[in-house]
Structure 1
């Protein structure tokens, strides 16, 4: 039974993709997908309670999985780490349908869906870091994803409006954003080596040293503070 429902979900999502290009992730798209699959809208809502919103969420997460699978088939050994990050973001965008992504961006820009959109951006950043083998178990788990979320969101918006051949301008934009991050990280490293700044930066470091990521890294959870060690 569960397998049958999963198959219906997949068929609904595939049907909705064709309609979303023209009607956006809307009620019209949801009802058209139900009609194409041959199920009543009531059953469709049992599978996708928020209708087209949940279809858009499923489409986005499928894109994350496709990116991770494609990255896993490549050999990143010859690339610098910053280039591996850029490659993952580029893959994520190249595997997406730009019109569907544009319609999704419009949907998740609405105030009532903004939190869902932010969660999806975080999920994409998490999927990229996991695909790249990140094993962070402290506050770096959060800072890496927060930074990458910002880079990905900015590049996504640029890419949606990019009319350059092969979206070359988008990839140049992406390289500049990653360059900005690398310069910031270098500045932080130099600050830590400074006698005075190093001592000042050590204070928040001590406060955050017990922060841990969610037990299930894929869960939508804020993480946890580990129990202090016994004296």
Structure 2
């Protein structure tokens, strides 16, 4: 593909996976950007303009690439045939599979995001990953469930990545087992929440009861 007429957004998207591949060796810096630009035939100066925020912008672009690749590998029709537990599990596992070739780059990325000055951006990126997965899974909640689901999945995803980074088992079997246990925890919480809401709907309303005492039906 020729990039002479490409926008910075298009250049950033194209560079993102290449930058990640080089970040494992060069770190998340301009050396990785220059190497990625050289591989794609993009002017190095233009490539650097695509990441004005430095390393965090590079990491952000790579995570966005993982989002897009996840959607490409798991179209809505594929996910629709699964139960919700399987959808979430498959979405997380697919993200890890996409990141696996650049696991060292991911380790370095998380170290950068853990710096105090990057805390807010890190939180936003974590939330975005969880939101993208829940939306892909078909979640349309707009009440407090919208937030609790994403908070729980974000925590599970972060914990699973921590296991994944040091997992030397065959085909990341230990990571998959850990994820399965954590997803089970989420499903149990969702069942409890559903039960509580159901019980609350069956509890007589005190205000309606008092109203009937004051204004009896004729």
Q: TM-score, normalised by structure 1?
A: 0.73
Superposition pairs of residues 95-106 of structure 1, within 5 angstroms: 95-96=98-99, 97-106=102-111
Contact 2:16 2:65 (8 Å CA) reproduced: no
Distance 1:47 1:184, change over 3 A: same
Cross-structure match for 2:207: none
Which one of 162, 179, 182 corresponds to residue 177 of structure 1?
182
Distance 1:185 1:136, change over 3 A: closer
Contact 1:151 1:174 (8 Å CA) reproduced: yes
Contact 2:13 2:61 (8 Å CA) reproduced: no
Kindly state the Cα deviation for residue 24 of structure 1 after the two structures are TM-superposed.
1.9
Distance 1:165 1:47, change over 3 A: same
1:53 aligns with 2:49: no
Whole-angstrom CA distance in 2 between matches of 1:85 and 1:7 = 29
Select between 117-126 and 177-186 the one with higher mean Cα deviation: 177-186
Contact 1:108 1:114 (8 Å CA) reproduced: yes
Whole-angstrom CA distance in 2 between matches of 1:95 and 1:46 = 26
Contact 1:68 1:127 (8 Å CA) reproduced: no
Which one of 110, 135, 149 corresponds to residue 140 of structure 2?
135
SS in 1 for 2:74: helix
Kindly state the Cα deviation for residue 189 of structure 1 after the two structures are TM-superposed.
3.9
- Higher RCO (CA-CA < 8 Å; seq separation 6+): 2
Deviations 1:101-123 (A, max 9, x none): 11211111111112212111111
SS in 1 for 2:168: coil
1:75 aligns with 2:89: no
Distance 1:135 1:15, change over 3 A: closer
SS in 2 for 1:162: coil
Which one of 88, 91, 104 corresponds to residue 91 of structure 2?
88
Select between 23-32 and 177-186 the one with higher mean Cα deviation: 23-32
Larger radius of gyration: 2
Q: Which runs of 5+ in 2 are unaligned?
A: 205-218
Considering only aligned residues, what root-mean-square deviation do their CA atoms show, in Å? Answer: 2.6
Structure with bigger helix share is 2
SS in 1 for 2:155: helix
